[in-house]
Structure 1
């Protein structure tokens, strides 16, 4: 799978279909575990500020450009990514794959009523999926949840705790479920349950999903400030050639 380095993170450089096909062929079909990080400008900025969090993100087997801001920055810094790969779309694709192949999944995150709605929808629309466990995101003992996942031996683990908690959880506990493909999903369970509406299709296609979120959730404006901060940081560091990687390490990320 081709990758491209954008501001010290090696992103998958393809589209959704290419990525899911590659993941299925070389990981899921082989029962080989993998970690997927979905990175938008907010997460990219957090990783730029915190070396520890950067290590968590960069250790993932796949880093996906889940945000048009990441794609735009890639083009402005001469490391163009083909397209955005949204975490919610990956979630739907993996559910479809799991249903076709009768895979086992574990869900961790969201409020209990949201999680119940998600489980209800999965049972109706994806009847061949085996849900081997689920825990809401308010379980205080994360180690307990990790052990639950370990005992359940799922093929896919969906973690929706929001950043940086979901990435940190997977990073610290992936050794307990090494056979599973694990992915951090942010607010995807809220959208899937119907609790939160996703932007209209035309806004998604025109890369205006961020604007829809801001209009429907104006309290997000402070978080949205991280988008220009991310852009400034990427352009500044690109101009000064600042990197956490050696040139040799960057070359090695071109092909996973």
Structure 2
């Protein structure tokens, strides 16, 4: 599924959970690196405004659908994909890492949050090996000297997969930068996933997520920060819906889905 922006496209090239597990397993088995991004409406807003973010997305190996509007528009376009939120992908990917005898690192947030998330993962999934927890300082440059320092720490710890919780666009910028520097490491951008594990943030209950109202739950919990963000997301929906209809009718450029690069 392709999403449209002025002078750029974002392609979801991993349509469902089975394809994601297959792609990651193949890369882990071969010792190949990867970068995984999770597209949502907020990212589409930012992509319209930030050329560096567009370049970072173009460099991602794997892109999945994070957000029900993305899933619904894909269905409208006749190119259905499954919902794969970054926070929900963490545990399955940690299990895959264990199955391939790989280590993981946690990057982002605060030292306390990362320590609590490490404890949670090691408690919930026996065999998990978290070899590094790195909370970058304020003013972290995702493609500068401070990024190099984090990459050096990951290399020193012999980490195989780094879960990046820096928020967009920093996490995707760092993942793209790290992917160029460390060919055998996996970078997974996960947003607030580690905060949920540590208890720093409370995720919406399962029934709220089941009726696709997690966005409203979050907006009410942090109105000053999130209501303006969601307003911008709603503003781009007409254009994205139009593009989905064009894809369905064949009037937009055709696209054949592939799984990974």
Please tell me the TM-score bracket, short chain as reference. 0.7 to 0.9
2:230 to 224, 230, 245: 224
Which stretch of structure 1 is more off in the superposition, 50-59 or 101-110? 50-59
- 1:138 aligned counterpart, secondary structure: coil
Name the CA distance, whole Å, in 1 between partners of 2:149 and 2:14.
36
Name 2:58's counterpart in structure 1. 58
- 1:108 aligned counterpart, secondary structure: strand
> CA distance change for structure 1 residues 51 and 238 in 2, over 3 Å: closer, same or farther?
farther
Is the Cα contact below 8 Å between 2:111 and 2:133 reproduced in 1? no
Is the Cα contact below 8 Å between 1:163 and 1:186 reproduced in 2? yes
Q: CA deviation at 1:96?
A: 2.1
Name 1:190's counterpart in structure 2. 195
* TM-score normalised by structure 1 residue count: 0.85
Name the CA distance, whole Å, in 1 between partners of 2:119 and 2:245.
50
Once the two structures are superposed, residues 157-195 of structure 1 have per-residue CA deviations (whole angstroms, 9 ceiling, x without a partner) of: 111100000111111222332112211111111011122
Which stretch of structure 1 is more off in the superposition, 14-23 or 88-97? 14-23
Q: CA deviation at 1:9?
A: 1.1
Name the CA distance, whole Å, in 1 between partners of 2:112 and 2:160.
24
Name 2:115's counterpart in structure 1. 116
Name 1:38's counterpart in structure 2. 38
- 1:107 aligned counterpart, secondary structure: strand
Name the CA distance, whole Å, in 2 between partners of 1:165 and 1:255.
25
Q: CA deviation at 1:144?
A: 0.6
- 1:12 aligned counterpart, secondary structure: coil
1:95 aligns with 2:100: no
Name 2:15's counterpart in structure 1. 14
Is the Cα contact below 8 Å between 1:132 and 1:154 reproduced in 2? yes
Q: CA deviation at 1:81?
A: 2.4
1:16-165 equivalences under 5 Å are 16-24=17-25, 26-76=26-76, 78-138=77-137, 140=140, 141-165=146-170
Is the Cα contact below 8 Å between 1:47 and 1:54 reproduced in 2? yes
- 2:30 aligned counterpart, secondary structure: coil
- 1:37 aligned counterpart, secondary structure: strand
Name 2:143's counterpart in structure 1. none
- 2:12 aligned counterpart, secondary structure: strand
Name the CA distance, whole Å, in 2 between partners of 1:117 and 1:49.
35
- 2:152 aligned counterpart, secondary structure: helix
Once the two structures are superposed, residues 16-38 of structure 1 have per-residue CA deviations (whole angstroms, 9 ceiling, x without a partner) of: 243223321x2112111111011
Name the CA distance, whole Å, in 1 between partners of 2:53 and 2:86.
19
> CA distance change for structure 1 residues 68 and 114 in 2, over 3 Å: closer, same or farther?
same
Q: CA deviation at 1:134?
A: 1.5
Q: Which structure 2 residue ranges, 5 or more long, are not aligned?
A: 141-145
2:213 to 198, 208, 211: 208
* TM-score normalised by structure 2 residue count: 0.84
Name the CA distance, whole Å, in 1 between partners of 2:78 and 2:210.
22
RMSD over aligned Cα atoms: 2.4
